[in-house]
Chains A and B, each alone.
Chain A
Amino acid sequence: MQQNAAELCTILVRDTYGELSSRVVAALLEYGRSTLYTIVRRVKIPERVVKQTLVVLIQQHLVLHYTNEDGGRDATHYECNWLQIYELLHSGRMVRTIEERFGSEAASVISNFLLLGHARVSDFITAYGISTKPKPNAVLPNGTAISASEATGTAPITSAAQISKHIITLMQAKFLVPVQVHHMHPSVDTENAIRQRVTAEQAGSAAALQAKTKKAIDEKVAEKMEALSSDLDNKNFGLKRKSDQQDGRARKRTKFSAAQPIEEEEWEIDGSIVLRVNNAKFLAIFRNEELVRWAESRIGKTTSLVYAELLKHLEKNVVGHRTEKGLVDGGKKTVVSTLDIGNTLKKDIDLVNSIAAGPAMTNGHKRSMTNGHLFTANDEESEGDSDDYDLDADIDGDDMGMNGTHELSSAAQEKKEQLQNIRKHLMLLADDPNQFVTKQEGSMQYGGWTVDTQKLCEALRIRELEQIVEERFGGIATRLVRIIKDKGKMDEKGLADTALLRQKDIRAHLGVLHERGFLHIQEVPKTAERLPARTFYFFYFDEKMSKMAMLNDFYKAMSRILQRIDHERSLNSMLLSKADRTDVKGHEEELLTKKELTDLAKWKRSEEKLLAQLMRVDRQVMMFRDW
């Protein structure tokens, strides 16, 4: 937790939940875990009010609490969950994502859950449309233009059945997850409690803390912690089977596409469970979007579309767990076959024209190119693939034999061609130095693919960092950073030789990079006196330290943007309050003067620009911290 992050979180809470909450949060962030009494003493607000504030914050998962039960007197500690506070920034993105995937109704469900923090399903359904006329999430400091009221305005949700249908879909896709007790506690406390229990079971007495038992206990604790979160991995966790299925008449329902019927049982929600938004799942989706953008810039639009389709298959059942190392999901284990992609990929994408064969291969006409590729010089690859192609040939032969009709075989031919083209795009992705996908040798026709998201994100981070260096310090600095990263520790002379630059030219760059925390120096004295003149200075690059320095800068920059918005707002406060009046709203053209109108437009532009910038920095924060 860094100071700049604390500042940012305080601002976010103030903008969303008001001054009171932000003071409590600020105290918690500054002093860490505290009891109610300490909080009251620090914020100098009556206990009753602090309690009310804490309730709100706990409802929003912004504050975690834990009651220590042993030792006679119960003591409840409160702790700020600052990562969750940061998630307030993402609400706009989340609503938009859901709208793109499930439509505006589902989006309004999500935005309401975002506003509520967590809610019991039955309450949510009954309250819908009666009391909580969904407010536009303009109250949230997000820059995206989607507002829930607009969404519901165009497609009002009318029945409870509809809502629950949306909730079930969102739950199955893990966008909504049931709240469990351990969600409300700091993970350290949860772990400690488990450890205590395990130790008691294992040893009986605290005296027998041998190294061996300690290790066993550690393992067991890790296992149990894992088990806590793995509940969520079950696709239908929190749902129960519809009663009419008990007699075994499973109904079939096609869900994803007509070509691929999926046998699916009907589920209904247990009205008593409490749901919340699963932030980690959204993070995984944002990450995948970024990866697709990257693939586009590296290879091309069409390939990135294929990649997006592949990632969509991967993320379907992913829950996403946030860990120290980044997001953990099933990407490495889940294999997606080319056939899957072929089934869902939009047919109107031009797969052929974005890939050119080598000059040697263009002699033949286009059709034979796909097979011609087999017999060319790139031996190892075609050897590996030849099985697949043989298989194709067999199947093709069978088709011809059985059907004999031209229409069918041409349809099959078309399908086959499409799959081969998709395969080519995937091969491109696999061939890239960043290894967007990994080919899995297996029995799957046309091959199966996995994605090592962790490794990719590592590369993505490095690339982002280099770009930041490039834009802030210029091309030479980037060259130097890359060299140092590649070669490890280097002194000025070695650097100058590798970079083909004069020593005196690189010195200034190295100085600035060091000052801003991108590079670090190790001093190795030649003599015992440690004279500066008789010392080697080795520059090195430490990704973790650079990352921290960057994040710190990001948080600060974000705080400044939010503060600037406040400032701009206060500059225009008179005008804004006038424009906000109910009689003026909608009639701005008639009731405001010309100057006021231009000012209003200007303010809107500035705010938009600042918020857009905020979101772009947010993307970088996610990249460096979450993925």
Chain B
Amino acid sequence: MSDLQPVARKIYDSCGHDHQKLYAANELLPFVPSRDQHELVAAINELLGRGYLRTLKQGDAYVYKFVSKDEVDRTRNLTPDEALVYQHIESAAREGIWSKTLKARTNLHPTVLTRCLKTLETHRYIKSIKSVKFPTRKIYMLWDLTPTIEVTGGPWFTDAELDADFINALLVAIERFVTARSFPKQKPGVAGMVVVFEAGYTGYPTLSDITQWVKNSNLTEVELSEADIKALLEVLIYDGKLERVIGGTAYKAIRKVEGAVKQGVTEAPCGRCPVFDLCNEDGPINAANCVYFEKWLAEI
């Protein structure tokens, strides 16, 4: 701060705490003790030069935005090239910027650019992230920002990879929750009898019930919206574990048949035979010399 002239310092001290607010030039004038336009211009120039102020265009007019002191300190030590790269990365905000775009915008030589990025990364000013949409691209953003959902791909992704374990755990938990509410408790005395709710029963869990339960259950710290839960329920339906009831508003588990027997064709060796297409009565593979039959018949 000490490097600033008194006027410039006064302006920065008065307004610099708000980094979001935009100021037009005449809005800064009251902070100049002499109310002198020339003095203001000199001060603005000084602030701009030192990196405390940034110009933005709003419509046709130029407006100014103050930069925090940390950031100023950060950029101060950078070489001009690095500062340029830093600025472009910063302007991309939470979306991140692709290295190729960066090169086109800055017009720097590839080796220079690489060197700049490396320095910035080692200083922990920027970081490279992976995008779900373009997994092969190198995308940079400021160190302290979190990427947007478009980049991360939503709750199902961890490090731009679909988190299968997380999804499966949720699927199992939700299935259990719905199953517990789909069938009545066994009545005492009639053991072994399969009991179901009567037709028109309305107590099956709805989407919002399930979402609420997931929220309250501490299953995950990730915020899951109803749409996310719905996607999970869809998958469970496609897995044949749940079904929609009451006009599609609620969900019910499908009873698992205990000790279910396999299908005729898949239990016999032919249904699972890897060389089924080659099997021919007169061919080298046939029913008489089939090893799978041999094994299967021995399993009695």
Contact B267 A431 (CB under 8 A): no
Say yes or no: is B195 at the interface (Cβ < 8 Å to chain A).
yes
User: With A350-B193, A468-B263, A500-B235 known to touch, is A560 a contact of B202 (CB < 8 Å)?
Assistant: no
Measured between beta carbons, the chain A residues less than 8 angstroms from B235 are: 479, 498-500
Measured between beta carbons, the chain A residues less than 8 angstroms from B162 are: 496, 500-502
Q: Provide the bound-state CA to CA distance between A502 and B264, in Å.
A: 32
Measured between beta carbons, the chain B residues less than 8 angstroms from A615 are: 264
Over the window 39-68 of chain B, the binary record of Cβ atoms lying under 8 Å from chain A Cβ atoms (1 yes, 0 no) is 000000000000000000000000000000
Which of the residues B202, B276, B290 comes within 8 Å of A377, measured between beta carbons?
A: B202
Contact B198 A564 (CB under 8 A): no
Q: Provide the bound-state CA to CA distance between A482 and B243, in Å.
A: 13
Q: What's the least CB distance linking A144 to chain B, in Å?
A: 15
User: With A353-B187, A357-B198, A606-B297 known to touch, is A478 a contact of B255 (CB < 8 Å)?
Assistant: no
Which of the residues A467, A561, A563, A566 comes within 8 Å of B268, measured between beta carbons?
A: A561
Q: Provide the bound-state CA to CA distance between A556 and B235, in Å.
A: 34
Contact A479 B239 (CB under 8 A): yes
Contact B271 A472 (CB under 8 A): yes
- Report the nearest B residue to A434, measured CB to CB: B243
List which B155-209 residues lie within 8 A (CB) of chain A: 156, 161-162, 164, 167, 184-185, 187, 190, 193-203
Say yes or no: is A46 at the interface (Cβ < 8 Å to chain B).
no
Contact A561 B167 (CB under 8 A): no
Contact A358 B263 (CB under 8 A): no
Measured between beta carbons, the chain B residues less than 8 angstroms from A189 are: none
Q: What's the least CB distance linking B164 to chain A, in Å?
A: 7
Say yes or no: is B110 at the interface (Cβ < 8 Å to chain A).
no
Contact B263 A300 (CB under 8 A): no
Q: Provide the bound-state CA to CA distance between A568 and B298, in Å.
A: 12
User: With A356-B198, A358-B203 known to touch, is A563 a contact of B281 (CB < 8 Å)?
Assistant: yes
Which of the residues B185, B197, B240, B260 comes within 8 Å of A478, measured between beta carbons?
A: B240
A interface majority secondary structure: helix
Measured between beta carbons, the chain A residues less than 8 angstroms from B232 are: 500
User: With A502-B162, A557-B265, A616-B267 known to touch, is A354 a contact of B195 (CB < 8 Å)?
Assistant: yes
Say yes or no: is B150 at the interface (Cβ < 8 Å to chain A).
no
Over the window 302-325 of chain A, the binary record of Cβ atoms lying under 8 Å from chain B Cβ atoms (1 yes, 0 no) is 110000000000000000000000
User: With A500-B235, A567-B288 known to touch, is A613 a contact of B200 (CB < 8 Å)?
Assistant: no
Measured between beta carbons, the chain B residues less than 8 angstroms from A428 are: 196, 198-199
Which of the residues A553, A566, A609 comes within 8 Å of B276, measured between beta carbons?
A: A553
Q: Provide the bound-state CA to CA distance between A563 and B286, in Å.
A: 9
Q: Provide the bound-state CA to CA distance between A498 and B239, in Å.
A: 12
Contact B240 A354 (CB under 8 A): no
Q: Provide the bound-state CA to CA distance between A424 and B195, in Å.
A: 13
List which B238-282 residues lie within 8 A (CB) of chain A: 238-240, 243-245, 254-255, 257, 260, 262-268, 270-272, 276, 279, 281
Which of the residues B187, B202, B238, B268 comes within 8 Å of A378, measured between beta carbons?
A: B202
Which of the residues B199, B238, B263, B290 comes within 8 Å of A471, measured between beta carbons?
A: B263
Say yes or no: is A299 at the interface (Cβ < 8 Å to chain B).
yes
Measured between beta carbons, the chain A residues less than 8 angstroms from B263 are: 464, 467-468, 471, 616, 620
B interface majority secondary structure: loop
Q: Provide the bound-state CA to CA distance between A475 and B240, in Å.
A: 9
Say yes or no: is A617 at the interface (Cβ < 8 Å to chain B).
yes
Say yes or no: is A7 at the interface (Cβ < 8 Å to chain B).
yes
Say yes or no: is B287 at the interface (Cβ < 8 Å to chain A).
yes
Q: Provide the bound-state CA to CA distance between A411 and B58, in Å.
A: 90
Say yes or no: is A605 at the interface (Cβ < 8 Å to chain B).
yes
Q: Provide the bound-state CA to CA distance between A76 and B188, in Å.
A: 72
Say yes or no: is A355 at the interface (Cβ < 8 Å to chain B).
yes
Q: What's the least CB distance linking B181 to chain A, in Å?
A: 10
User: With A475-B239, A609-B300 known to touch, is A433 a contact of B245 (CB < 8 Å)?
Assistant: yes
Which of the residues B202, B290, B300 comes within 8 Å of A605, measured between beta carbons?
A: B300
Contact B290 A564 (CB under 8 A): yes
Contact A482 B238 (CB under 8 A): yes
Contact B271 A468 (CB under 8 A): yes
Q: What's the least CB distance linking B58 to chain A, in Å?
A: 39
Q: What's the least CB distance linking B147 to chain A, in Å?
A: 19
Q: Provide the bound-state CA to CA distance between A478 and B198, in Å.
A: 30
Measured between beta carbons, the chain B residues less than 8 angstroms from A507 are: none
Can you list 5 A-B pairs, Cβ within 8 angstroms, ordered by A? A354-B195, A500-B156, A560-B270, A566-B287, A609-B297
4 smallest CB-CB distances across A and B, nearest first, come from A616-B264, A356-B184, A427-B199, A557-B270
Known contacts A378-B202, A433-B244; 7 additional CB pairs below 8 A are A356-B187, A356-B198, A433-B243, A556-B279, A557-B271, A560-B293, A564-B293
